[in-house]
């Protein structure tokens, strides 16, 4: 009987399909790798297959209980709690008694080590320990090899092998995996995944008219301000000292009178011009004699 099955499962994020039309059947004890580059939606697909995330299309059915192990950013260990306190908390969530903690296999973890002190390998082991307490048919693990060295990866796969041998199916995420080392591979985040156009938005209903605001109560009259105290009269200024009298100006010396100019001597009158005597019959034609008489 299948412990997990998916039919036409699809997950869409930001109008892009991360995985679409996924058909999957997982039998007890199988390992399924969800492979893709960072940001491709591996963790979303893992959580959807574990029944922890709603699908955008299709269905996922679980034939038993599923548990989620360590998923970075989803169920990190509490930094201040010890390994044993994590076990006690898990028992309380499952409604079981605290004393059952003694029967829990910690797979080499120190019970007093706090969450903040755990290495990436120890975080994965603690995730498996807490997941096994629910007696699941399927366990989901995220980035199981991140931060592990070769020796830690070998020990982790040895632990996973013991769980699958007990009939527990393991679904995990990785960037890449050898297909021969797992039962099935699911690839997500293909660049050729078509982008779905947005559905037309429905018209918004008109908003109901707002009720008129109740009139504000009148403000209480302000108390009159107390009268200000009159200012003290200023002291009268003393009389100003009179200005010193100005020195009288020295009178200017009178200018010496100019000497009177001598009157110009009167010009001698021109000699009177003698009038020419009229010609007489005697002098006519005798110019020389006439001149002589004239002289």
What does the pLDDT read at residue 47? 93
> For the segment 269-288, what is each residue's pLDDT rounded down to a tens digit?
555 555 455 555 454 555 55
Show the CA angle centred on residue 92, arms to residues 91 and 98, nearest 5°. Answer: 60
Is the pLDDT assigned to residue 75 strictly greater than 70?
Answer: yes
> For the segment 231-255, what is each residue's pLDDT rounded down to a tens digit?
666 665 655 665 665 665 665 665 6
What does the pLDDT read at residue 276? 52
What does the pLDDT read at residue 188? 87
What does the pLDDT read at residue 13? 82
Higher pLDDT: 145 or 136? It is: 136
The CA distances from residue 157 to 121, 153, 170, 194, in Å, are 11, 6, 11, 36
What does the pLDDT read at residue 200? 47
Task: Record the pTM.
Answer: 0.63
Q: Given the DSSP bridges, would you call strands 31-35 and 16-26 parallel, antiparallel or unpaired?
A: unpaired
Higher pLDDT: 200 or 225? It is: 225
Does 3.40.50.300 match the CATH number of domain 4-187? yes
What percent of the chain lies above the pLDDT cut of 70? 64
Confidence of residue 70 (pLDDT cuts 50, 70, 90): confident
Is the pLDDT assigned to residue 116 strictly greater than 90?
Answer: yes
The CA distances from residue 187 to 36, 40, 59, 150, 190, in Å, are 6, 9, 18, 24, 8
The most confident of 47-56, 197-206, 225-234, by mean pLDDT = 47-56
Q: Which residues contact 1 (CB under 8 A, 6 or more apart)?
A: 28, 63
> What average pLDDT does the structure give for the chain?
80
Confidence of residue 105 (pLDDT cuts 50, 70, 90): very high
Give the position of tokens 């100006």: 249
What does the pLDDT read at residue 295? 47
Is the pLDDT assigned to residue 61 strictly greater than 70?
Answer: yes
- Stretch 164-193: mean pLDDT, rounded? 86
Is the pLDDT assigned to residue 87 strictly greater than 70?
Answer: yes
- Stretch 91-120: mean pLDDT, rounded? 94
Q: Which residues contact 125 (CB under 8 A, 6 or more apart)?
A: 107, 108, 109, 156, 159
> What are residue 187's DSSP bridge partners?
35
- Stretch 184-195: mean pLDDT, rounded? 67
> For the segment 6-30, what is each residue's pLDDT rounded down to a tens digit?
999 999 888 888 888 999 999 999 9
Where do the domains of the chain lie? 4-187
């Amino acid at each position: 009987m299948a412990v997990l099955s998916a039919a036409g499962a699809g997950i869409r994020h930001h109008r892009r399909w991360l995985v679409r039309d996924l058909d999957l059947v997982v039998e007890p004890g199988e390992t399924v790798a969800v492979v893709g580059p960072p940001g491709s939606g591996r963790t979303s697909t893992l959580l959807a297959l574990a029944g922890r995330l709603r699908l955008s299309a299709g269905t996922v059915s679980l034939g038993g209980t599923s548990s989620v192990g360590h998923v970075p950013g989803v169920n990190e260990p509490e930094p201040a709690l010890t390994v044993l306190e994590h076990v006690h908390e898990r028992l309380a969530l499952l409604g079981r008694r605290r004393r059952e903690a003694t029967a829990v296999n910690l797979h080499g973890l120190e019970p007093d080590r706090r969450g903040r002190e755990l290495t990436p390998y120890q975080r994965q082991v603690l995730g498996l320990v807490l997941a096994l307490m629910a007696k699941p048919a399927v366990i989901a693990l995220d980035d199981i090899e991140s931060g592990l060295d070769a020796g830690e990866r070998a020990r982790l796969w040895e632990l996973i092998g013991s769980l699958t041998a007990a009939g527990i199916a393991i679904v995990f995420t990785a960037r890449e995996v050898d297909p021969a080392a797992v039962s099935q591979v699911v690839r997500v985040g293909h660049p050729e995944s078509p982008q779905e156009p947005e559905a037309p938005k429905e018209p918004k209903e008109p908003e109901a008219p707002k009720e008129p605001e109740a009139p504000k109560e009148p403000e209480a009259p302000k108390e009159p301000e107390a009268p200000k105290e009159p200012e003290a009269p200023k002291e009268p200024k003393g009389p100003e000292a009179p200005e010193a009298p100005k020195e009288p100006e020295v009178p200017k010396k009178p200018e010496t009178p100019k000497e009177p100019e001598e009157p110009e001597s009167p010009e001698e009158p021109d000699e009177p011009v003698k009038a020419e005597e009229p010609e007489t019959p005697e002098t006519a034609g005798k110019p020389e004699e006439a001149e002589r008489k004239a002289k």
